[in-house]
Structure 1
Amino acid sequence: MPMPELSAVRIDKWLWAARFFKTRSLATEAVDGGRVQLNGLRVKPSKEVKAGDRVEVSIGDLRWELRVEGLSEKRGPATEARKLYSETEASLAQRQKVQEERHLRVEPAQEIHGRPTKRDRRQIDRWRGD
């Protein structure tokens, strides 16, 4: 017996199925926290998405602007999850720019390894004027 075609799915389930969040509870927290918007509005996790809806997702400093292309309540392979949405060109360009900037940025604590040595402590004392 074939499964009926879905007309709408809860947004937290859809985000989980589309692999934006590792667990459904993380997706629910993101929606509750206002990091997910549906058609420009802040919504509750139980709000249903339909094909053609616009979803904005913010995770850290990355932002996706998506159009819902398909619906699923089950999490499948990444190739199948990618078919559930399409990303806008502006969103893709902005996200790539942010990732490139992050890649080029030097981590401030990259040079620090463990506790200061005796020599390092003496230099610190000299800088402080002790």
Structure 2
Amino acid sequence: MRVDKYLWCVRYFKTRSIATAACKKGQVKMNGASVKPSRDVYPTDKISVRKNQVTYILEVLDLPESRLGAKLVGMYVQDHTPKENLEKLELLKYSKDYYRKKGSGRPTKKDRRDIDDIYNNDSFFSSDEEE
């Protein structure tokens, strides 16, 4: 089975074309080397996938016939991703809450007031100058 199809089948990518693009960009490595989307996958292969600023390390246990339900993924792949990488993913989720999305328009009145409070807060800037 092709590596792009395998990653799609075990639900690491939403579509097969996204999995193919990730392989072409060099975000998918098998046994330490970058792979093309057409590379064959065999049981006991180690695959590392760079997705959302986190590197997932996977071990192929078996090859599925087609795309799996989420509950069945564990029979075909074993995740060896270090806990530090998964914690980094949690931090990324929290950090994204504080930024406005691109194209969301002008800041609201409340956003403007919050920005002004940060810049007009004398203790924020003067604490470094006084010491």
TM-score by length of 1: 0.72
Q: Does 1:107 align with 2:98?
A: yes
Superposed counterparts of 1:1-130, under 5 Å: 9-88=1-80, 91-105=81-95, 107-109=98-100, 114-115=106-107, 117=109
Q: Which has the higher helix share?
A: 2
| Code of the aligned partner of 2:40 | E
- Superposition deviation, residue 87 in structure 1: 1.5
Higher mean C-alpha displacement, 67-76 vs 20-29: 67-76
Aligned residues: 111
Counterparts of 2:74 and 2:11, CA distance in 1: 8
Query: Residue 82 of structure 2: SS of its match in structure 1?
Result: helix
Unaligned runs of 5+ in 1: 1-8
Describe the SS at the equivalent of 1:48. Answer: coil
1:75–1:81 Cα contact (<8 Å) kept: no
Q: Is the 8 A contact 1:65 1:87 kept in 2?
A: yes
Percent identity between the two aligned chains: 30
The answer for unaligned runs of 5 or more in structure 2 is 120-131
Question: What is residue 124 of structure 2 aligned with on the other side?
Answer: none
Note the C-alpha offset of 1:79: 1.2
- What SS does the aligned partner of 1:72 have? coil
Which structure's relative contact order is higher, taking Cα pairs within 8 Å and 6+ residues apart? Answer: 1
Q: CA separation of 1:116/1:81 partners in 2, compared to 1, >3 Å: closer, same or farther?
A: closer
